[in-house]
Structure 1
Amino acid sequence: MTRLLPVLFAVLFSLPAVAADRPFERPVVVRVDVDASGSVVAAQALGELPQALASVAESATRGVEFEPARVNGRAAPSRTHLVVQMRFEPEGDDSVSAKALKVEPAKAVLDPPVYPTRAAQRGYGAHLVMRIELNADGSVDMDRSGLAAISLWKGGRKLEDSQVYRDEYVAEVMKVMQHWKPLIEEVGGAPVATSWHVPVTFCPPGRQNVCARIKADSPAATGRTANDEGIRLASLKPARHEVSGS
Structure 2
Amino acid sequence: MLNATMLLLICSLTAQAAETREQIYRIGADVDAQGHITATQVDPGVPISIAPVLASAVKQWQFVPAKLNGRSVPAHTFISAKLQALPNASGQYNLRISFAGNGPKFDRAGRQPPYPRDAVHRRQAAFVFINATVQPDGRLADMTVNSQFAEWPVSASFKDAALKIARTWHFIPEQVDGPPVATQVRIPMNFTLRDQILAPEQVKILREAARKESAMANAEVALPTVPLPSEQEVALDSPLQPNANAVATIITAP
- TM (norm. structure 1) is 0.67
Partner of 2:244: 238
Is residue 174 of structure 1 aligned with residue 163 of structure 2? Answer: yes
Alpha-carbon distance, 1:193 to partner: 2.3
Larger mean CA deviation between 39-48 and 171-180 belongs to: 171-180
Q: Contact 2:57/2:250 (CA < 8 Å) preserved in 1?
A: no
Cα 1:239–1:169 change in 2 (3 A) is farther
DSSP 3-state at the match of 1:172: helix
Alpha-carbon distance, 1:25 to partner: 2.1
DSSP 3-state at the match of 1:191: coil
Alpha-carbon distance, 1:183 to partner: 3.5
Alpha-carbon distance, 1:79 to partner: 0.5
Alignment of 1:91-240 (within 5 A): 99-106=95-102, 110=108, 111-122=111-122, 124-138=124-138, 140-141=139-140, 144-150=141-147, 158-159=152-153, 166-202=155-191, 205=196, 207=198, 210-211=202-203, 213=205, 216=209, 223-225=235-237, 233-239=239-245
DSSP 3-state at the match of 1:38: coil
Please list every run of 5 or more consecutive structure 2 residues that lacks an aligned counterpart in the other structure: 88-92, 213-228
Q: Contact 2:77/2:175 (CA < 8 Å) preserved in 1?
A: yes
The 2-side partners of 1:208 and 1:82 are apart by 37
Alpha-carbon distance, 1:172 to partner: 1.4
DSSP 3-state at the match of 1:50: coil
Alignment of 1:16-95 (within 5 A): 21-22=16-17, 24-87=21-84
Partner of 1:3: none
Over aligned residue pairs, what C-alpha RMSD do you find? 4.1
Segments of 4+ moved more than 6 angstroms? none
DSSP 3-state at the match of 2:24: strand
Structure number with the higher helix fraction is 2
Q: Contact 1:83/1:104 (CA < 8 Å) preserved in 2?
A: yes
Percent of aligned positions that are identical: 21
Partner of 2:220: none
Q: How many residues align?
A: 215
Q: Contact 2:61/2:248 (CA < 8 Å) preserved in 1?
A: no
The 2-side partners of 1:117 and 1:57 are apart by 42
Higher RCO, 1 vs 2 (CA within 8 Å, ≥6 residues apart): 1
DSSP 3-state at the match of 1:168: helix
- CA offset digits 1:88-139 (Å, max 9, x no partner): 589xxxxxx894521221365644434324225436444423123322132x
The 1-side partners of 2:247 and 2:30 are apart by 24
Cα 1:27–1:57 change in 2 (3 A) is same
Cα 1:86–1:243 change in 2 (3 A) is closer
Please list every run of 5 or more consecutive structure 1 residues that lacks an aligned counterpart in the other structure: 1-6, 91-96, 160-164, 227-232
